[in-house]
């Protein structure tokens, strides 16, 4: 197994920020890459803030918080990730930008470094094919919010080596996650089931003419869901859910996988959920 000491995280949004937080807490030297210094600093500030909250709640010692924060550096330069043993990508859920990035990383990172994608529903095999090291490319699919959700799916693409899978699984375990290994099928395990189900829920909004509050109440109180579907899609991000639905639909073709028109409109209007301040609910 490859020994992982330094982790690069690309894209410090909802997912990458959470993954970087997990990495510094677990003792990895971590380099986060964003597209601008402003976004990188804001993400580092959020991670510091979340760790301070853990100290206030008695979940973390102040000294451990400070050491963890010091393990994080941020950059806008991809070259700064040259020394990483593992790079986890968490940028926009679109195939081409991910393939371009993986091709660049392939030229920058050591030949034995592992490149992982946090994609929700794109083909890890297609992303890996943009590199000359597909045996060192793997899916590491975390859930939102990454510091709190216990699962990581470790996805073996067509050419991923068993050793790469085991190295990624070992990192997942050290980050405190329950690891489920699976093969590279559209949506892997959870999203193959959850995305069409959430789309069904959102179509029911119009069919049954209920409000988001009523739908959320129905699924919480009638189906025992911990969180209603509208609240969940707001948390995921309307854009992320639309892209993941499109990816699943393109690969498997089931009509219920296509994003509901209402969501596509919300995306067009910039109502992206929690991150934009407005989705099914206002934040």
Ligand X SMILES: NC(=O)c1ccc[n+]([C@@H]2O[C@H](COP(=O)([O-])OP(=O)(O)OC[C@H]3O[C@@H](n4cnc5c(N)ncnc54)[C@H](O)[C@@H]3O)[C@@H](O)[C@H]2O)c1
**Do you find a cis peptide bond into 145, omega within 30 degrees of 0?**
yes
x/- contact string, 72-111, with ligand X (CB under 6 A)?
Answer: ------------------xxxx-------x----------
What is the 3-state composition of the chain as percent helix, strand, coil, each rounded to the nearest 5?
50, 15, 35
- The verdict on 244 binding ligand X (CB under 6 A) reads yes
Residue 64: what are its φ and ψ, rounded to 5°? -70, -35
Q: How many residues does the chain have?
A: 283
Residue from 13, 158, 189, 252 that binds ligand X (CB under 6 A)?
A: 13
SS3 265: helix
Least distance (Å) between residue 13 CB and ligand X: 2
Dist. CA 191–CA 221, nearest whole Å: 23
199 binds ligand X (CB under 6 A): no
**Listed ranges 7-15, 60-68, 203-211, 257-265: which one lies at the site for ligand X (CB under 6 A):** 7-15
Our measurement of the distance from residue 155's CA atom to the centroid of its chain's CA atoms, rounded to an integer in Å, reads 13
**10 has which bridge partners?**
33, 89
Which of the ranges 11-19, 21-29, 156-164, 174-182 carries the binding residues for ligand X, by CB under 6 A?
11-19
Our CB check for ligand X shows the closer of 7 and 10 to be 10
Catalytic residues: 120, 141, 153, 191
- Residues in contact with ligand X by CB under 6 A are 10-16, 33-35, 39, 90-93, 101, 118-120, 142-144, 236-237, 240, 244, 275
């Amino acid at each position: 197994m490859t020994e992982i000491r330094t982790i690069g995280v690309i894209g410090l949004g909802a997912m990458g920020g959470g993954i970087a937080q997990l990495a510094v807490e677990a003792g990895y030297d971590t380099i986060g890459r964003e597209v601008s210094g402003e976004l990188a600093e804001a993400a580092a500030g959020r991670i510091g803030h979340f760790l301070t909250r853990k100290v206030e709640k008695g979940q973390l010692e102040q000294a451990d918080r400070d050491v963890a924060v010091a393990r994080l550096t941020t950059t806008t330069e991809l070259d700064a990730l040259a020394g990483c043993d593992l790079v986890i990508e968490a940028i926009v859920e679109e195939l081409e930008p991910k393939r371009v990035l993986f091709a660049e990383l392939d030229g920058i990172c050591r030949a034995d470094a592992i490149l992982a994608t946090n994609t929700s529903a794109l083909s890890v095999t297609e992303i890996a094919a943009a590199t000359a090291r597909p045996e060192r490319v793997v899916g590491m699919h975390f859930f939102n919010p990454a510091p709190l959700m216990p699962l990581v799916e470790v996805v073996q693409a067509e050419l991923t080596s068993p050793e790469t899978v085991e190295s990624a699984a070992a990192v997942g375990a050290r980050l405190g996650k329950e690891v489920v290994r699976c093969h590279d099928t559209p949506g892997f395990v959870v999203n193959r089931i959850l995305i069409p189900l959430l789309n069904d829920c959102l179509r029911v909004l119009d069919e049954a003419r209920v409000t988001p509050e009523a739908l959320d109440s129905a699924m919480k109180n009638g189906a025992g869901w911990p969180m209603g579907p509208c609240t969940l899609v707001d948390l995921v991000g309307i854009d992320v859910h639309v892209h993941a639905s499109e990816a699943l639909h393109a690969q498997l073709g089931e009509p219920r996988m296509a994003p509901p028109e209402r969501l596509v409109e919300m995306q067009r209007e910039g109502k992206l959920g929690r991150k934009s301040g407005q989705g099914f609910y206002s934040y």
